[in-house]
Chain A
Amino acid sequence: MLIGRRLASAALIAVLGLATACGGAATTSTSTSASSSGTAASAPAAAAANANKTLMIADSYGDPTGNWDPMETSLIATEEVLPNVVQSLTTFSTTGQLQPLLATSWSYTNPTTVVMKLRQGVKFSNGEPFNAAAVVYTYNRIIGPAGKKFPVASSFTSLASVKAIDNYTVQFNLNRVDPLFIRRTSGYQTGIVPPQYMQSKGEAYYQKHPVGTGPYVMTNYVEGSSVTLQANPNYWGGAPNIKKVEFQFLPNATSRVSAAEAGSVQLAQMIPPSQAAAIKGLSGYTLQVAKTFTVYFVRIDVKHAPLTTDIARQAVNYAINKQQIISKILNGYGAMVNTVFVPQTFGYTQSIQPYPYDPAKAKQLMAQAGIKPGTPLTFEYDGSNTQFAEVAQAIADYLNAVGFNVKLQPEDFQTLYTNLVPKSNAGNMYEFFWGGGGSLDEDGLAVSSWQTGQYWNPSYSNPQIDALIKDEENTVNQQQRLADFTKINQIIHTAALDIPLYQTDDLWAVSNQVKGFVPPPDEQVRLQTLSWASQ
Chain B
Amino acid sequence: MGRYLFQRLIATIVVLLGISLIVFFVIRITGNPVEAMLAGTTPTKQAIAALTHAMGLDKPLPVQYWVFLTNMLHGNFGNSLYSGEPVFNLIRVRLVATAMLAVAGLLIGVVISVPLGVTAALHKGSATDVGVRALSLLGISFPSFWLGIMLVLIFAVKIHALPVAGYSSWKSIILPAVTLGVGQAGIMTGLVRSNLIDVMNEQYIQTARAKGLRATAVVYVHGLRNAMLPVITYLGLSLGALLGGVVIIEQVFAWPGIGQLMINAIDQRDYPVVQGGAVILALFIVLSNLAVELCYTLIDPRIKISS
Contact = CB atoms under 8 A, between A and B. Distances in A.
A444 B42 contact: yes
A238 B85 CA distance: 34
A406 B161 CA distance: 51
A65 B82 contact: yes
Contacts of B252: 252, 254-255
Contacts of B256: 63, 223-225, 249
B90 A65 contact: yes
Contacts of B260: 224, 251
Interface string B39-50: 111111111101
B299 A437 contact: no
B106 A19 contact: yes
Nearest to A11: B295
A144 to B, nearest CB: 12
A263 B166 contact: no
B170 interface: yes
A255 B164 contact: yes
Interface in B234-285: 235-236, 251-254, 256-257, 260-261, 264, 267-269
Given A67-B85, A252-B254, 9 more contacts: A34-B168, A37-B169, A42-B161, A65-B80, A149-B54, A224-B97, A249-B256, A262-B160, A453-B45
Interface of B: 30-32, 35-48, 50-51, 54-55, 80, 82-85, 89-90, 93-94, 96-97, 99-100, 103-104, 106-107, 110, 149, 152-153, 156-157, 160-161, 163-173, 204, 225-226, 228-229, 232, 235-236, 251-254, 256-257, 260-261, 264, 267-269, 295, 298-301
A437 B97 contact: no
Nearest to B252: A252
Contacts of A149: 51, 54-55, 84
13 contacts: A8-B299, A23-B107, A29-B96, A38-B163, A65-B261, A67-B83, A151-B37, A154-B51, A223-B256, A252-B251, A258-B164, A414-B31, A454-B45
Interface in A56-91: 62-67, 69, 72-76
A454 B298 CA distance: 65
Contact of B299 (A11, A30, A36): A11
A476 B167 CA distance: 50
Interface in A225-262: 225-226, 248-252, 254-255, 258-259, 261-262
A3 B297 CA distance: 12
A258 B261 CA distance: 23
Question: Interface residues of B: mostly helix, strand, loop or mixed?
Answer: helix
A415 B37 contact: no
A69 B85 CA distance: 10
Contacts of A435: 40
A258 B169 contact: no
A26 B100 contact: yes
A447 B42 CA distance: 8
A154 B47 contact: yes
Nearest to B145: A254
A38 B171 contact: yes
B54 A153 contact: yes
Given A3-B301, A26-B173, A38 B168 contact: yes
Contacts of B89: 66
Given A154-B42, A255-B252, A422 B299 contact: no
B292 to A, nearest CB: 9
Contacts of B30: 412, 414-415, 419
A151 B153 CA distance: 41
Contacts of B50: 148, 153-154, 157
B301 A4 contact: yes
Contact of B103 (A22, A44, A207): A22
A21 to B, nearest CB: 9
A49 interface: no
A1 interface: yes
Contact of A34 (B170, B226, B264, B268): B170
B100 A74 contact: no
A27 interface: yes
Interface centre among B83, B94, B173, B236 (most CB of A within 10 A): B83
B251 A455 contact: no
A258 B170 contact: no
A447 B44 contact: yes
Given A33-B168, A65-B85, A8 B232 contact: yes
B263 to A, nearest CB: 10
Nearest to B292: A11
A57 B175 CA distance: 21
**Which 7 residue pairs are nearest across A and B when measured between Cβ atoms?**
A224-B256, A38-B169, A43-B160, A154-B47, A225-B167, A34-B169, A37-B168
Given A65-B85, A72-B83, A41 B43 contact: no
Contacts of A74: 37-38, 40-41, 82
A7 B90 CA distance: 36
Contacts of A422: 35
A8 B297 CA distance: 10
Contacts of A36: 168
Contacts of A258: 149, 152-153, 156-157, 164-165
A456 interface: yes
A15 B236 contact: yes
Contacts of B173: 26
Interface string A113-155: 0000000000000000000000000000000000011110111
A360 interface: no
Contacts of B166: 37, 41, 225-226, 248-250
Contact of A455 (B44, B54, B264): B44
Contact of A255 (B38, B40, B165): B165
B42 A155 contact: yes
A255 B54 contact: no
